[in-house]
Structure 1
Amino acid sequence: MHLAKQIVLSLEFSTHHRKQLVLEKRVKELEHDKESLQSDFEAAQGSIALIEVVELRSRIINLEAESSSLRQLNSQLAGDLKSTKEEATNGGKKLEKALSELSAVKVELAEAKGKLEEVASSIASLTTEKNAYETSKQELEAENAELMNVGADALADGFELAFELIRCVLPDLDLTQFSIYHKVVDGKLIPPS
């Protein structure tokens, strides 16, 4: 946007500069014509009639008025040219500032991209660790279940062994009312529910 404005200002500056050069050339031509007419007028004063002298004077006055008008226009164009040049300079400064800000944003973006890559790497590492922990957890749960079964089997085997020992010591005792599933609460035997 700033570049386009600067180009437009540069073109306006160039156009005004060309107009100023054309006007300066025209002013020089008019001054030359004035000098030529002045010398014609002076030469004609002695040799031509009064009417021709009046016409030449009128023409000189018109040329002087046109010359004055062109000088004013030239002055105005010079002011416009200066103003356009200042606007182009200001536009260039704004463009430099915008480019500097853009460079700073690019640096910040590169830093953010680097941080994002670090975070993504950390996430991937943490995901790998999580998967390893979940696998380890599943293995430990399976091992725990197996140990529970082994413990339950050992408890049942121990209970049966105790019953065998009691049968050996007290063969007449009725052990059918006892099982591994009975509970003892407040000194009383509670059957399984």
Structure 2
Amino acid sequence: MNANRNYYFAALALLVAMVFVAFSTGTAQETAQPKAPPPNPYSYDPSTNKADVDGCKQNLEKIAAAIVAYRKDHKEVPNWLSDLVPQYLPAEALICPVTKETERLSPFGALDPKLRCSYLYEFPSTPITDVVKSAFPGPMMTTRQWKQQQMGVVGSEVPITRCLLHDPVLNLSFGGRIYESPVIWENNFLDVARMEDFRPH
């Protein structure tokens, strides 16, 4: 009887040990598996979804109205779109539907230093970024100074704000018009100017 009992307990102990080893091995394998890297918020993977475009255009219309109100009060354009918040614009209007879905932000240009913002503001008083300079070589100046030069070429069609999260890109012009373009918006106006006319000078 004692021998049977001892045999039973030994078998039970062996079974428990085997289950424990199997569980530990499986857990170790799961732990050892590399996790997928988080999505790159600055990758260029534009959306072609019409609903995203419609929602973004609504934001751009709000931004346009906010800039007009800001200029009326301050007699100049803001340094950043975040300067419009909260007096002229709710913060959520600076987030494109594509960002809500993917966490992606503008892959090019200088991003707003104060608030999370999907939109590329084209009139900051900061130096032209290196990636833009590589496409538009010329003397160093602020982006605002450069855009003011471009307004001498195509007037108020120069974008003040852009959303590069769509294909084609959405632009809000200085004059308040929303229009589509390639990433290099200047290509839209090569019937009235040469590409070199748009470079800093």
TM above 0.5, one fold?
no
Higher relative contact order (CA 8 A, sep 6+): 1
TM-score normalised according to structure 2 size = 0.26
TM-score normalised according to structure 1 size = 0.27
Larger Rg: 1
Q: Quick check: which one's strand share is greater?
A: 2
Q: Quick check: which one's helix share is greater?
A: 1
